Chains A and B, each alone.
Chain A
Amino acid sequence: MDRVLPRRINWPLIGLLAPATLLLVIIFLVPFFQLLITSFWTYVPGTVLPKTAFTFENYTRVITDTYNLSVYKETVLISLLATVVTFVLAYPLARLIAKQKAAVKSLLFVLVILPMIGGAMIQTLGWMTLLMRYGAINGTLRSLGIIHQPIAFLGNELGIIIGLVQSFLPLMIIPLVASLGAIDESIENAARSLGANAIRVFFEVTFPLSLPGAIAGSILVLMANLTSFVTPSMLGQGKIQVFGTYAYQEAIQVMNWPFSSAFAIFFIVFTGLVALLVSYLSRAMTRSRIRAQEALYE
């Protein structure tokens, strides 16, 4: 059972949490608060140094300018869609890998991770060459007679989603492999022997038991999608504006630090709320899973 904190100070607890907290406060929170302060400063056109005069104009612009809201909406939609697709595609492969033995499993594991070592740029470049109108994919589809006109993969959300899904599938698959691997086979066999077919076993036994890994993976993938920059920029052919590209444009190219800080803070607050929600849900589901497992053992 979880230990409930006694009234006096629990030194072991503090000792466990302190290093990470310290690290985060010193290296992340302090600059973050600087960002918060900057978001209330006044941008002076044509310069890099903002005036330290307090103003709400940045937040006003964030909330009322419809362009910003459309960028936010676009980002969230693309990210959610990509995350869902990643989630669905990850399961079969994770399952396959989890069931393999030693050498094959390690090879598959490595193959899944391999794309990540190239980084976003290399993978995206690869996709660009494949997805272009006269690229390999359109070429193959045409010679197979499936299509007559090349499909426009690039410059729209489709290409971006393809790129995002492929980039972050490892983030979903690997935790899933661990999660699926930890499931006791006897539970599945028990369900099978009770007459359930494979599909039912999956949805009613395997899937719920694998949720911790699935949720961990989903959160990581969703966050990665939301803040992604290189992939949308290149696969969108510079035409689709998402949060990552917009932040880059305003922070590094326009050098409007107050506004980009404000937009970033707005983004975090909004998205943080969503993340909290998911976290609560996952904890609730995990609790019910533990209870279910305990019930099974009785």
Chain B
Amino acid sequence: MNDKIVAKLTNGIALIVLAFMLLPIIVLFLNAFNASRIFEFPPRGFTLEWFIQLSNSQEYQTSIRVSTMLAISAVVLALVTGVPAAFAIDRYQFPGRNFMQGLFLSPLLLPSIVWAVGLVQYYARLRILGSFPGMVLAHSIIIIPYVIRLVLSSFAFLDRELENAARSLGASPIRTFFEITVPLIIPGIIISAIFGFMISFTDVVVSSFVSGALYIPFPVRVYSELRSEGIDPLTIAISAVIMAAIILIALVGEKMIHWSKYV
């Protein structure tokens, strides 16, 4: 088959897949302006009412702030503990290495609902149920498998030859680490940070159980209303705003620090 045709075909498929991925987002955006209070497609009527309500809702804004702080803290903790661990697993041969890897991956396998119930009892006994640090710790556990997995894989395509070359040219281990190794694993770090943030920000199950009255994350607030009213249009508006903000930050960030080079 002609190479050009193959290229065109794969690009076509790529764009179709992209469109497929964005379909629900488009529905979401349209619903943010939907005049009717029901989530539907196509929307009936146009309104900015939900955005206006959003700007007046102190509760929602606070919960977004809580979720953001929580997510950032959890990501930082997961990175600070996870990156060294990934490094150790990649670089050292030691008994129990496979076990360690499995251990770090295990939170992914446990359905959060069952772990959350256990965590409630555990935290209650430690008297940290509902505390912010408790929430950060729980979220970091959810994120660590992603950090380890993704950083490990970026180690894998790190060319050892480069490191050996640098060492043979006289660079100290520390210098080699910071100037050769770290830049090459930055993609893994950035990606796991982004995923970690998303997962923490949108987590409902664990957060419902370990949150207290003082710190109510955004998804918990949304979920607590579902019982009697369905999805609050405010939630849709918030999600639309957050997505628009992310696109903006990404494009501006690209102009400033060219982050796309590193992923």
Contact = CB atoms under 8 A, between A and B. Distances in A.
Q: Touching in the complex, A and B, CB below 8 A?
A: yes
Interface of A: 1-5, 10, 13, 15-17, 19-21, 23-24, 26-28, 30-32, 34-35, 38, 89-90, 92-93, 95-96, 102-103, 105-127, 129-130, 135-136, 166, 169-171, 174-175, 177-179, 181-183, 197-199, 209, 212-213, 215-216, 219-220, 223-224, 226-227, 229, 243-244, 247-248, 251-252, 257, 260-261, 264, 267-268, 271-272, 275-276, 279-280, 286, 290, 293-294, 297
A178 B191 contact: yes
B239 interface: yes
Given A24-B106, A216-B150, 15 more contacts: A5-B93, A13-B94, A17-B89, A20-B84, A20-B104, A21-B100, A24-B103, A93-B18, A119-B201, A126-B24, A130-B24, A136-B41, A252-B113, A279-B102, A286-B156
Contacts of A90: 17
Nearest to B201: A117
Interface in B3-56: 3, 6-7, 10-11, 13-15, 17-18, 20-25, 27-28, 39-42
Contact of B111 (A93, A96, A213, A267): A267
B28 A92 contact: no
B141 A23 contact: yes
Contacts of B114: 35, 247, 251, 260-261, 264
A213 B118 contact: no
Interface in B232-263: 235-236, 239, 242-243, 246-247, 250-251, 253-255, 258-261, 263
Top 4 closest A-B pairs, CB basis?
A: A126-B24, A119-B202, A212-B156, A216-B153
B251 A103 contact: yes
Nearest to B263: A178
A136 B201 CA distance: 30
B210 to A, nearest CB: 10
B124 to A, nearest CB: 11
Contacts of A105: 260
Contacts of B3: 197-198
A124 B53 CA distance: 24
17 contacts: A1-B160, A5-B92, A20-B104, A30-B122, A92-B14, A96-B14, A105-B260, A111-B22, A113-B246, A125-B39, A130-B23, A130-B24, A169-B17, A171-B195, A243-B111, A264-B110, A264-B115
B113 A27 contact: no
Contacts of B42: 136
A10 B222 CA distance: 48
B188 A198 contact: no
B115 A229 contact: no
A225 to B, nearest CB: 11
A119 B28 CA distance: 12
Given A27-B141, A106-B250, A19 B109 contact: no
Contacts, number: 319
B191 A2 contact: no
Given A102-B254, A199-B1, A251-B113, A126 B204 contact: no
A223 B202 contact: no
B117 A223 contact: no
Contacts of A110: 246-247, 250-251
A16 B154 contact: no
Nearest to A171: B195
A125 B260 contact: no
Given A34-B122, A107-B250, A166-B21, A102 B28 contact: no
Contacts of B199: 116
Contacts of B105: 219, 223, 275, 279
Interface residues of B, number: 109
Contacts of B80: 19
Contacts of A125: 24, 27, 39, 231
Contacts of B156: 212, 286
A67 B24 CA distance: 33
A275 B28 contact: no
B161 interface: yes
B62 interface: no
A227 B117 contact: no
Given A106-B251, A119-B204, A251-B114, A2 B92 contact: yes
A17 B85 contact: yes
Contact of A20 (B7, B81, B91, B153): B81
B233 to A, nearest CB: 12
B149 interface: yes
Nearest to B3: A198
B150 A279 contact: no
Given A31-B119, A268-B109, A117 B6 contact: no
A116 B21 contact: no
Contacts of B63: none
Q: Which of A181, A183, A271 has the most CB of B within 10 A?
A: A181
B117 A257 contact: yes
B263 A13 contact: no
Nearest to A112: B21
Nearest to B259: A106
